[in-house]
Structure 1
Amino acid sequence: MRQAMEKNRVLHKRRKWVAGILALAAVCIGAAELVVCRYADPALYWQVTAPARACARAAADTGRAAMTAAAEAAHAAAASAAQTAAGAQQAFLDAVAPIEVTMPKKTASRAAAAKVIDESQLAGPSSLPAPQGMVDETVSRLEGLEGLELLTGGGIDVVYYNQTDEAWASAPYGSDRLGGYGCGPTAMSMAVSSLTDEQIDPAAMARECAGAGYWCHGSGSYLSIVQGIAASHGLECRAVPPEQLTEEALQLHLSTGGLAVALMTRGHFTRSGHFIILRGLTLSGDILVADPASRERSLTPWSYSLIVSELSPSRHDGAPLWLLSRPT
């Protein structure tokens, strides 16, 4: 029984091979006949092949229609996607639009305030660590007095404010916040509070500066803030180009009760632009500062060469160094 089944399977395979060979032979013979007919009797050739050519044309037309439909669908999808993207972009722009704040109009005397800021004054960590440690407390320290913080050890004790403290960080500076862009008003509040009998905190100074046109949206303060606020509060202010500054002249100014406002560039104090106060000297001649964004840097001595090398390259409105003195 098993041998009979095996014999049938072999016979079936042979029949399939024979059928395949005969079909291939028929195709080959048919193709050869068509080739001969193409040249021997063209009219008969076109008559015989007409159905095949009709099917081919129909298939080609169907393919072209399908491709056209696909292209139209893709175009419609692209148009829809572009419309959606445009809507998303507008929604994003609406979301990040600045807060509208109505500010007092600038007076003619404040026209100089409308200058471009060379570097953003956004508060943040410095690019480089301090080259030396903090000073000994016998040289300079922070002391509390009647609700204020005082930096001792300079030519005069300086009323210290920090823009990042909870009391001031969220206070408005125009439509910005003091904690981010308030080094200018905070530095000037320290200068005015230390060199006059007037105590003005950073929030009050920010309101004054914004009202006078010194606030620059999303950047900080226009550089005219120093001379403008100094004049408003009766302080003497003298801008000194770094090229004309000498170490001896700065030491004399700081050791006789004067302060200096310095606009710093990227380095040990900031990653962009930053106002600080130069407030005094150590016995070795290093400079003491009041940094409105760092108590640690305010208690660190800095060499004259480092301070001068990191002054901002800005050269308008007296930048980058202003010497302040008590009113006479």
Structure 2
Amino acid sequence: MNERTERAMNSTPEGGLPEIYDAVVIGGGAAGLSGALTLGRARRSVLVIDAGEPRNAPAAAVHAYLGHEGTPPGELLAAGRAEVRRYGVELRDGDAVAAAREDDAFRVTLADGAGVRGRRLLVTTGLVDELPAVPGLAELWGSDVLHCPYCHGWEVRDRAIGVLGTGPLAVHQALLWRQWSEDITLFVHTMDEPDDRSHEELAARGVRVVVGEVASLDTREGRLTGVRLADGTLIPRQVLTVAGKLMPRAGVLSSLGVEPTDLEMAGTVIGAHITADPTGATEAPGVWVAGNVTGPTDQVVAAAAAGVRAGAAINADLIAEETRAAVAARRAPHSGAS
């Protein structure tokens, strides 16, 4: 452990202020822990603040993550927390609600009123899925109500799958899910009815189109059994796929003046995200983002990779700052010489 890390972790500044860490990571999911791991291995003092609300908590397993295929999300996070601790990273349970510049660092305020300080921030707070207001839908989210075929398609292959139409991308979603099952039904629900070309494509692939608003979901013993229309018609289904609105958890970033912008796919707004450069650097100097808060469609493996990139970029930025300070200190004794 280097001198800077020891000083940050073992001392408390005058006036009772919290320690100053090289980096404070807000959010302890795959992106945040990967960034913390990278920084910890770079001998940086790091604090991870986690509210304990992972987006994938309802999911049974993580998929398409080489070496971790089928791992329950909780097990992956527990392993990650143990790994970062080996490199001196500190973990703190809590909800970070705001941050502000304080001299040459940031002060992060938690919901309980406590505060911590860091020279750099990595925000990996993820997103919230805003789901359609269909009775019974939220209760099945992550089990029989799904959103991503690459995350869950294999597990529900060959089942009776419904696609809830909430916008113009629903036709694409129905054709996509058709890869995993021959029994696909597109419920028009609140979307515009597909045009002639879309009807032809759906028919050619054997996708059934049902016109009418969905009123509720029927279940038996906690499992989906059917989709009920407003007119009372019941369409048996075992799985329903939904494209919810993807909204970043951006409260801390908003307090720093970094606001979400609309996220479009094929000309349709599907949510919002925080814009950043390829390393995750935001418009606010010293603030990086990684994971679903900036890449809402990223799977776990991509979020973890983004955390590594951001962690390396933060370390490089700190090195540049420390080098400037070292050069200034080296010159200082000679600045007044005649």
TM-score (norm. length: structure 1):
0.23
Structure with the larger strand share? 2
Q: TM-score, normalised by structure 2?
A: 0.22
More helix by share: 1
Specify the structure having the higher radius of gyration (Cα).
Answer: 1
